[in-house]
Structure 1
Amino acid sequence: MLLARLPDGREFEYESLGPESAPVILFHHGMPGSAVPMHTVLAPMLERGFRVITYSRSGYGRSTPVPSRTVADTGTDCAHLIDHLGIERYCSFGWSGGGPHALASAAVDSHRVSGVLISASFAPPTAAGLDFVAGMGKQNDIQFRSLQEGDQAARAAVSQMAAAVRGNRPEHVTAQLSSLFAEVDVSVMMSGFGADNAANMDHALEAGDQGWLADLKALGSDWGFDLADVVAPVELWHGELDRMVPVAHGEWLSHNLTDVRAHLEPDHGHVSLTVQKAGSMLDSLTRRLNR
């Protein structure tokens, strides 16, 4: 893992895969997550000739914690990382909790982001007409509702979730967090992705839960940017069986982003969609950008 020094002195962890001369994808991980590459997810990008940049949001892995960060703040951090790497143009790809951060990159760094891909993304907590937690599995419902009860409750909810995933095998994670996994997701968790995901999350949580708590607060409060500032073409994908981020979030985003094309997949959940369809997602975005 590599470290970039941000303008304010913080360290920002990242990894770069693929040829430096290749077109770039900045990959925004979920909650929790880190820069540790998940090859079962990233392989379709590398096979298609992309250079992939992964990173750890502040508080995860070796990235300096920022407890009060907003989603937009991470977009700014990523723009500084792109400066550090000398990249002129790139696509922004966000999965799950990374979806809003992918949109933030497009809003904050609009002159360099050529396209956006979001899979199973959250909508803003203030989304008009959307019941934010409706349809969520029990554990995510508890997490986001805890924000209304204050910092102590949010810390307790995150601590409980972190204990369920830290250092545990995929079968234990899916058993302890069963409300979040559709049947199609469980089968994918038992594949090679499960080990990839465990390594990614374990690194994220090595130094504690502060990154997860900061993510929860950032996703559950004002994101710090306007969706109207996302002017790049957006390819939106969401599984209709998703229990972590219900498809209503994807539907809301599909009606409130400026230049978006939505793909709602009836046979996929939260995990299966990205692991099994990432190649198709990229092909769809590439065709659109090449027109």
Structure 2
Amino acid sequence: MATETSSRSSVKPLPRSGILLRSSLITIFGIISALTFQSIVKPPPPKLCGSPGGPPITAPRIKLRDGRNLAYKEHGVPREKARRKVIFIHGSNCCRHDAIYATLLSPDLVEELGVYIVSFDRPGYGESDPDPNRTPKSLALDIEELADQLSLGSKFYVIGYSMGGQATWGCVKYIPHRLAGVTLVAPVVNYWWKSLPSNVSNEGFNLQPKRDQWAVRVAHYAPWLMYWWNTQKWFPGSSVASGDYSILSQSDKDIILKLGSSRKPYWDEVMPQGKHESVNRDAIVGFGSWEFDPVELEDPFLNGNGSVHLWQGDEDMLVPVTMQRYIAEKLPWVQYHEVAGSGHFLHFAEGMVDDVVKTLLSTDA
């Protein structure tokens, strides 16, 4: 017994000072690990246009309220002679040159309607300075300021494509008094908009490839990991960020095959400042927590002096048509146009751009 008692008494509890030391060491190790990991995943700073070693400035630019520069490109009839003025908002992996609704618009229609279109590089794209604080609201205010500095008048039209939808919905929410009409073409839907029923958002979410399901999860829940997620080699990152066209519908693949390099001869001008503040930021904003829900918006044209249109291809593999149908059903003031047999690049179909623009401008045509 004595031996057993002696053995037990030899095992003494760790002094309080030892417990505190161990806890402190664990905490310090955790902090060092977190800081090390954060330094590994931290994206490189963007290569600002006009900075030493950065891309050159070739486009006209305006200086915004916070000192950022916004690059733009003008199309159609001269601004001072235009009867209808349109601002075009491009999607991901695009820039001011991707003003499809200007470049594919019939010259006769341009003259007939007196259409002027200005496209611009969204923050971080092309020659526009990045905005790490970008939100749908800030994008809408950028657009309003662009209109003011170009003297587009008290009201103007807006066309937003794909990821440009975040800015377009922002315009409907924050600057409805400046709008003459709005068109959304295949706008990306946020699976976390609170008014989307779980069965609708889950159905759309599950239609996406697994790699994109994980990418949007990261964008929503851990946006600070977005750069690492799309550059690490263990798992496939976002298909959009990596330029993987295998997920597209056959109609979209046919369009890419037909157009070849002529579809984007200006590819080097799309993201010269890097991918993080362009494509990655698109995902962070598009799938992040919005301060408003588009499904709860009110008609910005209650007096009938304008209209909102939503165009969607029923074979779009990037933006599920089922989600657009639900949004159109819940917003009866949105005129919904579903294009059979078309994918995300529905505007390349013959005559489609003319139809989209004429429909938008029909209010006062």
Q: Above 0.5 in TM-score?
A: yes
CA contact (8 A) 1:2 1:15 kept: yes
Matched, 1:26 2:84: no
Q: In the aligned structure 2, how far is the partner of 1:92 from the partner of 1:286? A: 11
CA deviation string 1:131-168 (max 9, x = no partner): 15232245533321222452354213444557734xxx
Structure 1 residue 99 displacement after superposition: 1.9
The letter for the 1-side match of 2:132 is P
CA contact (8 A) 2:102 2:117 kept: no
Q: Which moved more, 1:28-37 or 1:72-81?
A: 28-37
Q: In the aligned structure 2, how far is the partner of 1:27 from the partner of 1:74? A: 13
- Aligned-residue identity in percent: 21
Matched, 1:86 2:151: yes
Structure 1 residue 196 displacement after superposition: 3.2
Structure 2, unaligned runs of 5 or more: 1-58, 232-236, 302-306
Q: In the aligned structure 2, how far is the partner of 1:275 from the partner of 1:142? A: 30
CA contact (8 A) 1:72 1:225 kept: no
Partner SS, residue 176 of structure 2: coil
Aligned residue among 206, 213, 221 for 2:288 = 221
Q: In the aligned structure 1, how far is the partner of 2:317 from the partner of 2:271? A: 23
> 1:183/1:250 Cα in 2 relative to 1: closer, same or farther (>3 Å)?
same
Structure 1 residue 192 displacement after superposition: 3.3
Q: In the aligned structure 1, how far is the partner of 2:129 from the partner of 2:152? A: 23
CA deviation string 1:247-291 (max 9, x = no partner): 1231132123362111112211111x122222211222223x138
> 1:7/1:149 Cα in 2 relative to 1: closer, same or farther (>3 Å)?
closer
CA deviation string 1:16-35 (max 9, x = no partner): 11221221111111113211
Q: In the aligned structure 2, how far is the partner of 1:269 from the partner of 1:152? A: 31
Matched, 1:122 2:188: yes
Moved over 6 A (4+): none
> 1:30/1:198 Cα in 2 relative to 1: closer, same or farther (>3 Å)?
farther
Structure 1 residue 238 displacement after superposition: 0.6
1:212 corresponds in structure 2 to 279
Aligned residue among 324, 327, 337 for 1:250 = 324
Q: In the aligned structure 2, how far is the partner of 1:72 from the partner of 1:87? A: 20
> 1:40/1:115 Cα in 2 relative to 1: closer, same or farther (>3 Å)?
closer
TM-score, normalised to structure 2, is 0.69
Partner SS, residue 180 of structure 2: strand
The letter for the 2-side match of 1:189 is I
CA contact (8 A) 2:312 2:324 kept: yes
Structure 1 residue 59 displacement after superposition: 1.2
Partner SS, residue 104 of structure 2: helix
> 1:163/1:240 Cα in 2 relative to 1: closer, same or farther (>3 Å)?
closer
Greater Rg, structure 1 or structure 2? 2
2:97 corresponds in structure 1 to 36
> 1:137/1:120 Cα in 2 relative to 1: closer, same or farther (>3 Å)?
farther
> 1:52/1:105 Cα in 2 relative to 1: closer, same or farther (>3 Å)?
same
> 1:46/1:57 Cα in 2 relative to 1: closer, same or farther (>3 Å)?
farther
Q: How does 1:137-148 map to 2 (within 5 A)?
A: 137-148=209-220
CA contact (8 A) 1:94 1:102 kept: yes
CA contact (8 A) 2:136 2:169 kept: no
Q: In the aligned structure 2, how far is the partner of 1:135 from the partner of 1:213? A: 21
Structure 1 residue 15 displacement after superposition: 0.9
Q: In the aligned structure 2, how far is the partner of 1:279 from the partner of 1:244? A: 24
Partner SS, residue 148 of structure 2: helix
> 1:16/1:230 Cα in 2 relative to 1: closer, same or farther (>3 Å)?
farther
CA contact (8 A) 2:126 2:269 kept: yes
Aligned residue among 305, 319, 335 for 1:261 = 335
Q: In the aligned structure 2, how far is the partner of 1:198 from the partner of 1:153? A: 32
1:274 corresponds in structure 2 to 347
CA contact (8 A) 1:38 1:196 kept: no
Q: In the aligned structure 1, how far is the partner of 2:224 from the partner of 2:250? A: 33
Higher RCO (C-alpha 8 Å, min separation 6): 1
2:222 corresponds in structure 1 to 150
Q: In the aligned structure 2, how far is the partner of 1:275 from the partner of 1:140? A: 25
Matched, 1:102 2:168: yes
Structure 1 residue 225 displacement after superposition: 4.1
TM-score, normalised to structure 1, is 0.85
Q: Which moved more, 1:278-287 or 1:21-30?
A: 278-287
Aligned residue among 214, 231, 242 for 2:300 = 231
Q: In the aligned structure 2, how far is the partner of 1:39 from the partner of 1:262? A: 20
Q: In the aligned structure 2, how far is the partner of 1:163 from the partner of 1:100? A: 17
Q: In the aligned structure 2, how far is the partner of 1:139 from the partner of 1:177? A: 13
Q: In the aligned structure 2, how far is the partner of 1:134 from the partner of 1:112? A: 37
Structure 1, unaligned runs of 5 or more: 166-175
CA contact (8 A) 1:45 1:52 kept: no
Q: Which moved more, 1:13-22 or 1:34-43?
A: 34-43
